[in-house]
Structure 1
């Protein structure tokens, strides 16, 4: 970088003097004294301009001060916001009134109230999910928000939002929740309670399952009353309800790739055993063990499935305990301890995942399984009866420590 000299002083020269003349005068053989040169040509302290270095230093100081001030302001703002959030100062926890505008709000099947509240808050339908939960508990009176689409408004009070969801849920429909693994008589109990239709109508229809497209070998509607959350029209008939549930079972089987009627019945029977015998995490392995028992090469159990759940179904009860006489009773068509192969039909209503496990069983070497902890659902598998016996002892020890749980 080149260095610039200060401008030549012009105090002692006319405006029309040539630059070369100026140089000749000041660099002649008779220069003026040094003292006179500085005194004559340098401006006074009052009039001379600051040097560029000094200006740069001032600018840097100014910038530093601005940064410090902005940083201080930022810290103060952050502290203020922290205290505001901590103390809830100025926080809107509820809107007033019925709201404005219009928005479609969807409640998914199985959605918990807290999940619903969070979704309402995210869509600015209510101000605060916790406030909504509080309002819901006050006005619900035992009612539940049902799945479906609801016409709501933005910025509703929590109470208005809760009432809207509860009122719409009850208007114009019968809500019928049918859990997995329920037996036909248990499903009828729910249908009667939810719809008010007399039980006799459902039982009469169940005497002829073929009218709903069920194969002739089926002794009842058992297994075909597909689980799920239903919202039936108020004027629906018992026959229409059953047909819809059967159609849903058929659709689940077809989605799993099973279209033949006889094979559908077989898969549904296996799936119902899987559903009753295992927790969801073990469906595929239990299905694999059942398939091993049904295989022609099975010399371990000689074709016997030996399922407690099938036997108790045939006995008309639900329990974990069987006597040796009950296991030997061949008059029970669902006794898979005494009769090789599958029972005469399904023993409950399996869901999609149990059906999928029956269609796609795990490739396992096991023939035996036992749930050793009924609370956690921990299940242990084995290839031999001797190994299985040790796991049965583990189950019995758990039962001894948990009186009444294994009856």
Structure 2
């Protein structure tokens, strides 16, 4: 037989079962001669009504109840074995004496209970256990509350959340704070674990926060001050024309106002680069300051420094002009550096291979000066205390950079020349013989036409007075034929075919461009008819003779 909703019953009770038989436990007899397995001690278990064919009996003790069923031999059995559970119960006064130590006096049914005397539903009379000790949970004496499950505590926000750390209060004594925290935990309930994940906040943490925020505010204040100084406050500046101590400052080519101001500040001339830039923008012509070396004074106002740099007298520069020969450059360097005459030229002759000449310009034979043609026109810093070789290196570097930019190696071959060195030589001839920018391309064509093997007009002789003058270190335009024809030096193009051994001066950029891109009009002759600036060109020998007569008439020859 099975109970509804319970599944199959366990195995039937056996008379030798130690839990229910006479052996092993001993105790009072219960239903049908059975002994209580716990020595007569009453046991209570919460039971639910079973539906179906079943009957309920009371057990001895304090209303212990089990669900009965019958085996195949109709023996009265119980559905489960109860484990001892100590319970405390209330007894009415006198019950112990009346029933004995193990007896029980049931409570009288409540007269007001309408179900107290009624037969039980579902198959027979059933006693009403309400108000009796057989009920579960058993009735409690007045004033006693059955312990109920304590609802989940809904703690208010922890008072630690309102610690003075957040309210601005000062630190309190650590012992008092610990005592108070322990008291709060006790109020939450004995044994209740304290909430985890919360750390004590001390004055050290407060100080760290103050330092962090204080440092941030200080940094913001500093950068705010710098921003104000840069945007609105006047730049730091000296006053007056400076002290008597002179300072030489070198300004490289291409330097702008800010770079110039920075160099002046580093040299101790001005107090700030900002002040120099402002003064340069306020003074007319301030932006025209060129590269070079300037002789200035210490601790000058920015305005005074700008004005002095615009004065040519303050410039300690060596200026190389287009067409100038190296001899004149050497003399200018000696003067600027306050050296003995010839000092720079001796350095050049000794150190020319170490000054940065390109490979194609070295080991050229019969040249008067290996560095000729490699002092590119421009301004170069040269002040007392500087070394001559340093200044020469600047000039050679400028020329080499310019020649590389124009790709002279490839251009030389396309123009029928042997190497870039010859192309520089052509440019120096164009620079020396040409008088104006318009003359340069025609002059370059004259050179190339006379170098051609097919030139039967002059038989590949250039016949330039400039080459002879370079040889002699002069600039005469009135040279007798006897003098010229009697000199056989390679630089004398009246007696030596082709180009001279090397450049005869330092060509400028206009002459270099003309040598790279000559005209194609057939020019073979030229004459400076006024002896100075007016150069005229001819294609035939007859035209040349007429130009020569014009020159003689003008010059008085």
TM-score range, shorter chain: 0.5 to 0.7
- 1:215 is aligned to 362
Shift of 1:259: 4.0
8 Å Cα contact 1:178-1:190 kept in structure 2: no
1:194 to 331, 336, 341: 336
Is 1:277 the counterpart of 2:433? The answer is yes
Distance 1:312 1:172, change over 3 A: closer
1:369 to 526, 533, 546: 526
Between 1:254-263 and 1:159-168, the stretch displaced more is 159-168
Distance 1:331 1:146, change over 3 A: farther
Shift of 1:382: 0.8
Aligned partners of 2:331 and 2:476: how far apart in 1? 20
- 2:39 is aligned to none
Aligned partners of 1:310 and 1:102: how far apart in 2? 57
Aligned partners of 1:395 and 1:245: how far apart in 2? 38
Within a 5 Å distance, the mapping from 1:5-404 to structure 2 comes to 105=257, 125-126=282-283, 147-148=290-291, 161=303, 164-166=306-308, 174-208=316-350, 209-212=352-355, 213=357, 214-217=361-364, 218-220=367-369, 221-232=371-382, 235-259=385-409, 263-279=419-435, 280-375=437-532, 377-400=533-556
Aligned partners of 1:168 and 1:368: how far apart in 2? 44
Query: Match of 2:506, SS?
Result: coil
8 Å Cα contact 1:146-1:169 kept in structure 2: no
When normalised by structure 1's length, the TM-score is 0.57
Aligned partners of 1:255 and 1:308: how far apart in 2? 31
Aligned length in residues: 268
8 Å Cα contact 2:348-2:389 kept in structure 1: no
8 Å Cα contact 1:173-1:234 kept in structure 2: no
Shift of 1:337: 0.9
Deviations 1:251-295 (A, max 9, x none): 221122114897221111111111110022211110011000001
8 Å Cα contact 1:315-1:332 kept in structure 2: no
Deviations 1:128-173 (A, max 9, x none): x6xx99xxxxxxxxxxx85159xxxxxxxxx984663315879997
8 Å Cα contact 1:274-1:358 kept in structure 2: yes
8 Å Cα contact 1:327-1:337 kept in structure 2: yes
> Aligned-pair RMSD on alpha carbons?
3.8
Between 1:259-268 and 1:241-250, the stretch displaced more is 259-268
8 Å Cα contact 1:270-1:287 kept in structure 2: yes
Distance 1:374 1:321, change over 3 A: closer
Distance 1:252 1:303, change over 3 A: same
Aligned partners of 1:388 and 1:378: how far apart in 2? 15
Aligned partners of 2:542 and 2:304: how far apart in 1? 58
Query: Match of 2:408, SS?
Result: coil
Shift of 1:200: 3.6
Aligned partners of 1:102 and 1:359: how far apart in 2? 52
Aligned partners of 2:423 and 2:520: how far apart in 1? 17
User: Computing the radius of gyration over CA atoms, which structure comes out larger, 1 or 2?
Assistant: 2
Gaps of 5+ in 2: 1-233, 238-255, 261-276, 293-300, 413-417
8 Å Cα contact 2:344-2:388 kept in structure 1: yes
Query: Match of 2:529, SS?
Result: strand
8 Å Cα contact 1:289-1:364 kept in structure 2: no
Aligned partners of 1:171 and 1:301: how far apart in 2? 49
Shift of 1:183: 1.4
Query: Match of 1:176, SS?
Result: strand
Distance 1:148 1:322, change over 3 A: closer
Aligned partners of 1:259 and 1:244: how far apart in 2? 22
- 1:87 is aligned to none
When normalised by structure 2's length, the TM-score is 0.43
Between 1:208-217 and 1:317-326, the stretch displaced more is 208-217
- 2:231 is aligned to none
Aligned partners of 1:184 and 1:146: how far apart in 2? 26
Distance 1:189 1:300, change over 3 A: same
Aligned partners of 2:420 and 2:389: how far apart in 1? 22
Higher helix share: 1
Aligned partners of 2:424 and 2:475: how far apart in 1? 20
Aligned partners of 1:329 and 1:357: how far apart in 2? 32
